[in-house]
């Protein structure tokens, strides 16, 4: 059995959906399709969630835009305006939420609304596939991927999800299942999400639970490249990567795969292919167990919107393991993912993604014990397999705030 993941770009229009049919026909084996919300729907639904939470009547306009976009795709796929009751029902469920006041938990409200992107896309695609004779079974993944209630970044209950997944995906009378990426459900059936871009992770979880032979992520790039082609000329495709290398790259900010995707696959030795939906016959990149050492060309990853803080204890005591541990507890409380750490006798520097709610609450808490210096709007540049020339080329004329080099990796915070 294979797991295929189609991201937002691969199902962003009627043509794209039709293209995915051709890809499926190339692989006749049993499959689970994990699909994201169409195009930029998740971004739009994030705005809907915010406007609803602040009770801004403009919520209705954005909601209507999201609906029109999907109606347009349906019209094109069916060749005429068509009302699909299963899809209409989902839109009604969103709009009926607007009639009630939100709770006080934004993250909860966010998940209840944003998850509709995936519910709607999978419904449309499943109905369309059935319509053209590609028989498939639609699964509400919330009944199978059970999570805790840490909304917007929920954690999988692996044991329970395993039992439920085995029961739901039997392949007894079906050979094609269609389900949602990115979303899950709590034990009391509240909707949760796994974090932005989490559909890759869903594909990996299902592959792990169902012992898939392989996972393919279909993207609009030919595979994993050594740099982002939007910002660097002459990029090259990496033909293969180890699981470890793939985790390092995605954690540093390479956007091709969600960082959590690799572990569930590595744990069961399941290979991951990153392939182009525009050129599906090409090999793409394979991520798998590699015994030999790879000689890679420099791989450049840029992560934007980073914050850097430097802390010095107010009383001039050394930075101790206890102060580091206090700072890390605070980072955990604010759900910050520390991407870089540097310490001297009196200074502790940390870099992380700028928090959505602003950095001020964290700073004022830290100021109780430390003198705090900070910068926001920085770039974290990671170069795996760096050479002095690549470092010079990229940093020329820019301010470097922190620089770290190990045998293989150079990392810099830049303005």
Q: Give the nearer residue to ligand ASP in terms of CB position, either 116 or 352.
A: 116
Q: Give the nearer residue to ligand ASP in terms of CB position, either 199 or 226.
A: 199
When CB distances are held under 5 to 8 angstroms depending on the partner's kind, the choice from ligand ASP, Mg ion, none that residue 12 binds is none
Asked whether position 179 contacts Mg ion by CB under 5 A, the answer is: no
Q: Give the nearer residue to ligand ASP in terms of CB position, either 63 or 370.
A: 63
Rg (C-alpha) for the chain, rounded Å, is: 23
Asked whether position 36 contacts Mg ion by CB under 5 A, the answer is: yes
In whole angstroms, how close is the CB of 46 to ligand ASP at the nearest point? Answer: 9
Question: Binder to ligand ASP among 109, 197, 214, 245 (CB under 6 A)?
Answer: 197
Q: Give the nearer residue to ligand ASP in terms of CB position, either 7 or 223.
A: 7
In whole angstroms, how close is the CB of 149 to ligand ASP at the nearest point? Answer: 19
When CB distances are held under 5 to 8 angstroms depending on the partner's kind, the choice from Mg ion, ligand ASP, none that residue 369 binds is none
Asked whether position 182 contacts ligand ASP by CB under 6 A, the answer is: yes
Q: Give the nearer residue to ligand ASP in terms of CB position, either 53 or 110.
A: 110
Asked whether position 181 contacts ligand ASP by CB under 6 A, the answer is: yes
In whole angstroms, how close is the CB of 335 to ligand ASP at the nearest point? Answer: 17
**Residue 387: alpha-carbon gap to chain centroid:** 30
Asked whether position 102 contacts ligand ASP by CB under 6 A, the answer is: no
In whole angstroms, how close is the CB of 7 to Mg ion at the nearest point? Answer: 6
Asked whether position 147 contacts Mg ion by CB under 5 A, the answer is: no
First-last CA distance in the chain:
47
Q: Give the nearer residue to Mg ion in terms of CB position, either 8 or 223.
A: 8
Question: Binder to ligand ASP among 14, 37, 74, 311 (CB under 6 A)?
Answer: 37
Rounded alpha-carbon distances, angstroms, from residue 13 to 9, 20, 372:
8, 11, 48
When CB distances are held under 5 to 8 angstroms depending on the partner's kind, the choice from ligand ASP, Mg ion, none that residue 181 binds is ligand ASP
Asked whether position 8 contacts Mg ion by CB under 5 A, the answer is: yes
Candidates 35-43, 61-69, 97-105, 364-372; binding stretch for ligand ASP (CB under 6 A): 35-43
Asked whether position 117 contacts ligand ASP by CB under 6 A, the answer is: yes
* Residue window 5-24: x/- pattern of binding to ligand ASP, with contact defined by CB under 6 A: --xx----------------
Q: Give the nearer residue to ligand ASP in terms of CB position, either 127 or 203.
A: 203
Residues interacting with Mg ion, by CB under 5 A? Answer: 8, 36
Could you list the residues that contact ligand ASP (CB under 6 A)?
Answer: 7-8, 36-37, 42, 117, 181-182, 196-199
């Amino acid at each position: 059995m294979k797991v295929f993941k189609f991201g937002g770009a691969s199902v962003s229009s009627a043509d794209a959906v039709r293209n995915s049919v051709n890809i499926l026909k190339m692989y006749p084996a049993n499959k689970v399709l994990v699909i994201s919300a169409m195009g930029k729907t998740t971004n739009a639904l994030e705005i809907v969630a915010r406007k609803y939470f602040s009770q801004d009547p403009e919520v209705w306009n954005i909601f209507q835009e999201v609906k029109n976009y999907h109606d347009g795709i349906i019209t094109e796929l069916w060749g005429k305006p068509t009302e699909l009751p299963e899809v209409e029902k989902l839109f009604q469920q969103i709009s009926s939420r607007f009639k009630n006041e939100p709770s006080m938990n934004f993250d909860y409200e966010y998940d209840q609304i944003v998850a509709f992107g995936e519910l709607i896309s999978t419904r449309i695609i499943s109905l369309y596939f059935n319509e053209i004779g590609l028989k498939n079974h639609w699964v509400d993944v919330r009944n199978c991927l059970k999570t805790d209630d840490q909304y917007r970044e929920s954690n999988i209950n692996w044991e329970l999800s395993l039992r439920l997944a085995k029961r739901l995906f039997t392949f007894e009378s079906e050979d094609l299942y269609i389900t949602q990426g990115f979303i899950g459900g709590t034990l009391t059936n509240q909707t949760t999400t796994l974090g932005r871009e989490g559909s890759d992770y869903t594909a990996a979880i299902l592959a792990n639970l169902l012992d898939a032979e392989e996972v393919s992520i279909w993207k609009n790039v030919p595979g994993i490249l050594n740099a982002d082609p939007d910002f660097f000329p002459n990029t090259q495709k990496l033909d293969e990567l180890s699981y470890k290398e793939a985790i390092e790259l995605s954690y540093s900010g390479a956007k091709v795969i969600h960082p959590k995707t690799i572990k569930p696959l590595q744990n069961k030795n399941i290979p991951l292919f990153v392939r182009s939906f525009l050129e599906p016959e090409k090999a793409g990149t394979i991520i798998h167990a590699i015994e030999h050492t790879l000689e890679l060309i420099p791989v450049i990853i840029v992560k934007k919107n980073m914050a850097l803080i430097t802390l010095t204890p107010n009383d001039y005591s050394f930075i101790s393991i206890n102060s580091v541990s206090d700072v890390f507890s605070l980072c955990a409380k604010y759900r910050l993912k520390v991407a870089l750490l540097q310490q001297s006798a009196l200074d502790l520097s940390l870099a992380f993604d700028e928090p959505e709610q602003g950095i001020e609450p964290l700073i004022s808490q830290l100021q109780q014990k430390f003198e705090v210096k900070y910068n926001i709007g920085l770039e974290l540049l990671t170069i795996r397999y760096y050479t002095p020339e690549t470092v010079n080329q990229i940093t020329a004329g820019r301010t470097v705030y922190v620089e770290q080099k190990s045998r293989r990796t150079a990392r810099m915070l830049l303005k």
